[in-house]
Amino acid sequence: MELVLIVVALATPWVGAILAAALRPADLGARAATWTGGIGTVAAVTAGLAAALGLTSPDGPADALAHVMLILVLGLSALIQAYALRYLRGDLRQRWFAVWAGALTGSTAVLVTAQTVVVFTLAWVAAGLSLVLLLATYRSLPQARQGVRRAAWSFAIADTPLVIAAVVLVIAAGGDARLDDLATVAAALPDTTAVILALLVVIAALGRSAQMPFHRWLPATLSAPTPVSALLHAGVVNAGAILLIRFSPLVAPAAVAMAVVFTAGAATLVYATVVRLVKTDVKGRLVHSTAGQMGFMMMAVGLGAFAAAVFHLVAHGLYKSTLFLSAGTGVAAGAEKRAWPSPPPASVTSTAAAILIGSALTIGVLLVGKAVIAPATTPVSLALLAFLACTAIVAVAAGLRRRMSLRTVAASSAVVAVLGLSYIAAVGWFEQLIPTPTGTQAPSPWLLVIPAALLIAIELMSRSPRFAPALSSALYARALAASAVPTPDPGGATRPRTPSLTKEVAR
C-alpha cells in the first residue's frame, strides 16, 4: 500500500503538467493541474501517516525524511498553484507556469525520495532545468532574461561537479549505488579521492542554495511573478541541504568539506543580513532573508546538526511561502506605517532595560525547555541553542525598546515561551528521525560565536543614532550594487499587457 501511495504522489505532478499543456483553455488546464496536485498531497500525507503509525514495513520505499519532504513539496506546490489560479487568470503565460510548475514539483518530489545516486542526480538536474524554464515565464522582460541567464550559468557551473562525482561513485560501486551505502563506497576509495568527491558535492549544494560564491543568481530572479518566487524560495533553494544530508555518508567524514559548508553558510548569512537592512522593496528583503536563512541552514549542516537543518528547512518553506503569497498585503501595510508619526528615540535606560529583560526571558525559557523537553545535550545542540538565544534576544529587545510596558513584556514572554519550547521539541523529534552519521568531522560548534557576534554588532549599529547614518552611507550603495539587476534598456522588449502585469508592477 505504501508503495502505491508513493507512486501516486510522485506521478501526480507530471500528470498535472501534461493536463496543463493539453487542455484548453489555459485556465482549465491550470485548474486540472491544481486538483491533481491536491490528490498527490493527500496520497503523500496518507503514506506518511501510515509510516508514522507503524502500518508499513521499516524497509519501505521511503524513509522518514522522504515522507516529511514529500508532504512539504507537494503540499506547498498545490497551495501555490491554487493561489496562481486567480493571480494568473487571463494571463498569456498561465499555461507556461502551470506546465513547468508541475515539472519542477515532480522533479523535486523524485529528488527527495530518491534512494540511489543516479536517480538523485537525474532528478537534481531536471529540477534545475525546470526552475530555469519557470523563471522564463516572462522572458520578454530584460530583467527576467538576466535572471534566467544568471540562474542557468550558476546551475551549470555548480551541477557539473555533482554529475562528475556521481559518475565516479557509480564506477567505483560497479553500478548505481544506494545513498545508504555511500560510506562503504567511499571507504573503498583513496582518502584524497573521497575528499575531492565530497567537495564536488558541496559545490553543487552551495550553488543550488545561493550560497557564496553562487549568491548572485537569487536576487536576479526578482522579476519573476509571485507564484514562481514562492515556489523558488519555499522549496527549490532548500535542495542544497537535502543533497548534503542524502550524501552525508560521503561528506560528513571529510573535515575540509564540512568546514567549507560552515564557512560559506556563515559568510552568506552575514552578507545577506547586511544587504537586507538597506533594501527598501518587499521582495528584495524577502530574497535576502531567504539567502540568510539558507546560510543558517548550511551552518547547521556544516556542524553535523542535520536534524536541526531539516527542521529549519521545513519551517522556512512554510514561513517563506506565506510571506511571498502575502507580499501585496505587506506593501499596503508598509505604506500605511510610513504615514505614522516617528516614535521618539529610546533612552539609554530603556535600551538597557529592554536588553536585560529580553536576555532573561529568552535564556530562561530556553534553559527550562532544554532541561524538561530534551535533557540530552551535545556541543552542537548547545551551540545552536546559544546562537538562537542571541538572535532571539536581539529581536525581543528591539521590540521592547520601541515600546516598554507590562503588556508588551507579557506578550513577549508568551511568544518566546511558545516559540522556544516548540523549537526545542521539534528539533528533538527530528533528531530521532535523522541521526548524525558516524565519523562526522565537523568544525568546532563554538565557531558560531563569530557570525552571532557579527550579526548582533550589525543590528546594534544599524539602530544606534551614532552609527546608523554612517553605516547606511557605507553599506547602502555597496549592498544595492551587489544585488542589483539591470533595468530595461530603451529599445528592449516589454512585457505583455495582461491582467497580472498590473499586480506585478504594483508589487
Count of domains forming the chain: 2
Q: 113, 137, 152 — which closes off a domain?
A: 113
Asked whether residue 430 is domain-assigned, the answer is yes
Please determine, for residue 505, whether its predicted confidence score (pLDDT) is greater than 60: no
Neighbours of 170 (CB within 10 A): 17
What pLDDT, in 10s, does the model give residues 252-306?
A: 999 999 999 999 999 998 888 888 777 767 777 788 888 888 898 898 888 888 8
What pLDDT, in 10s, does the model give residues 23-66?
A: 989 889 999 999 999 999 999 999 888 887 777 766 677 788 88
Q: What does the DSSP 8-state code read for residue 25?
A: S
pLDDT of residue 129: 94
User: In terms of Cα–Cα distance, which of 294, 281, 280 is closest to 217?
Assistant: 294
Asked whether residue 47 is domain-assigned, the answer is yes
Asked whether residue 335 is domain-assigned, the answer is no
What pLDDT, in 10s, does the model give residues 104-134?
A: 999 999 999 999 999 999 999 999 999 999 9
Of 43-52, 366-375, 440-449, highest mean pLDDT: 43-52
Domain coverage including residue 424: 344-482
Asked whether residue 84 is domain-assigned, the answer is yes
| Whole-number Å distance between alpha carbons of 215 and 223 | 17
Asked whether residue 504 is domain-assigned, the answer is no
pLDDT of residue 277: 74
Asked whether residue 295 is domain-assigned, the answer is no
pLDDT of residue 486: 46
Please determine, for residue 159, whether its predicted confidence score (pLDDT) is greater than 90: yes
| Whole-number Å distance between alpha carbons of 161 and 169 | 12
Q: Is 274 in contact with 458 (CB distance < 8 Å)?
A: yes
At 341, the pLDDT band (50, 70, 90 cuts) reads low
pLDDT of residue 58: 66
Output 371 or 479, whichever has higher pLDDT. Answer: 371
Q: Is 130 in contact with 14 (CB distance < 8 Å)?
A: no
Rg, C-alpha atoms of the chain: 23
pLDDT of residue 507: 38
Asked whether residue 412 is domain-assigned, the answer is yes
pTM of the model: 0.83
What pLDDT, in 10s, does the model give residues 416-433?
A: 888 888 888 877 777 777
What pLDDT, in 10s, does the model give residues 445-491?
A: 778 888 878 877 776 666 665 555 565 566 655 655 554 544 443 33
| Whole-number Å distance between alpha carbons of 175 and 159 | 21
Asked whether residue 103 is domain-assigned, the answer is yes
Please determine, for residue 500, whether its predicted confidence score (pLDDT) is greater than 70: no
At 97, the pLDDT band (50, 70, 90 cuts) reads very high
420: left (phi over 0), alpha (psi -120 to 50) or beta: alpha
